[in-house]
Amino acid sequence: MTNLKSPRGLFVGLVTLDLIYLADSAPRNNQKIVAADYTLAAGGPATNAAVTFSHLGNQAQVLGVLGSHPMTQLIRGDLTNYQVAIADLAPNMSTAPPVSSIIITQATGERAIVSMNAVKTQASSTSIPANILENTEILLIDGHQMAVSRSLAATAKAQNIPIVIDGGSWKPGFAEILPFVDYAICSANFYPPNCHTQADVFAYLSAFDIPHIAITHGEKPIEYLSSTKTGSVSVPEITAVDTLGAGDIFHGALCHYILQGSFTDALAQAANIAAESCRCFGTRRWIEG
């Protein structure tokens, strides 16, 4: 970490446009509903994590596929507003970016999502901008750009840059990245091949010599394995308005706090930030205060 500039993080993965509605419930077949509120923001695990990392006082850059379609201006505008830089893996792509339509149930904060991920927009490692890791102090990978992430993880490891993975769900190709990872932060829905329990997941990841592993469980305590020590970290009790993006925000906050202290402290502080985000509708209003 330099004294002259705030830490720089690179966030690799999915960039979407999120259309977010607050409603009494998700619609049934052939039903039209009227939303109580609506917001629009850039989305994707790496993208939301980058916004959080920037908000906490750092320099953040997203590396993903964006392109030149007019709709990308909405994404660019949102990220500019939160001081997140963009490195585009496919600047000449003219097709529309992935769009997610999300309905938040007003009474519970639960979400229903229809989305396109990065399956149709996979970039090759030759698309990586030169010197993209220069002065980078932490790298987060969300698993949506595997070829690019595999190349960057190897380079970052050689340069002693800490590597965090957002294990929201298992994705083919993760096994090639895990040998380079320092922090595997997974959801309860992250099940590698032949894993059926949390113990299986911890054992699978430990086999890759990952020093720090955590599994989040929503509002329940976070379970962790850190340098052979196991334990749990409690999560603040709140009344959730909207849980959308809470995991992404957790990862971005963890990237901030892990540069300052211990793994368990970072988990606890990141849980506080994620809980705070759940008090507000959408993925940005918690920042506005």
Per the domain annotation, does 282 fall within a domain?
yes
Range of the domain at 51: 8-15+44-97+119-288
The confidence score (pLDDT) of residue 4 equals 55
Per the domain annotation, does 23 fall within a domain?
no
Q: What is the DSSP string of 122-156?
A: PPPGGGSPTTTTTT--EEEE-SSSHHHHHHHHHHH
Give strand pairing partners of 116.
Answer: none
Per the domain annotation, does 31 fall within a domain?
no
Portion of the chain with pLDDT greater than 70, in percent: 98
Per the domain annotation, does 223 fall within a domain?
yes
Tokens 């030149």 sit at which residue?
68
Distance from the first to the final alpha carbon of the chain: 28
Q: Which two tokens stand for residue 116?
A: 């396109």
Per the domain annotation, does 113 fall within a domain?
no
E strand or H helix at 113, and its extent? Answer: strand 111-114
Over residues 172-185, the pLDDT tens digits come to 999 999 999 999 99
Apex CA 197: angle with CA 196 and CA 198, to 5°? 140
Give the global pTM: 0.95
The count of domains in the chain is: 1
**By C-alpha distance, which of 264, 256, 253 is closest to 223?**
264
Over residues 201-233, the pLDDT tens digits come to 999 999 999 999 999 999 999 999 998 899 999
Per the domain annotation, does 218 fall within a domain?
yes
The confidence score (pLDDT) of residue 118 equals 65
Helices of type H across 57-216? 72-81, 146-158, 174-177, 198-206
- CATH (domain of 268): 3.40.1190.20
Per the domain annotation, does 32 fall within a domain?
no
Query: Helices then strands (H, E): number in the chain?
Result: 8, 13
The band of 2, judged by pLDDT with boundaries at 50, 70 and 90, is very low
Helices of type H across the chain? 45-55, 72-81, 146-158, 174-177, 198-206, 246-257, 263-277, 285-288
Per the domain annotation, does 231 fall within a domain?
yes
The band of 110, judged by pLDDT with boundaries at 50, 70 and 90, is confident
Q: How far apart are CA 45 and CA 39, in angstroms?
A: 18
**Order of strands, edge to edge, in the sheet holding 16-23?**
37-43, 16-23, 99-105, 111-114
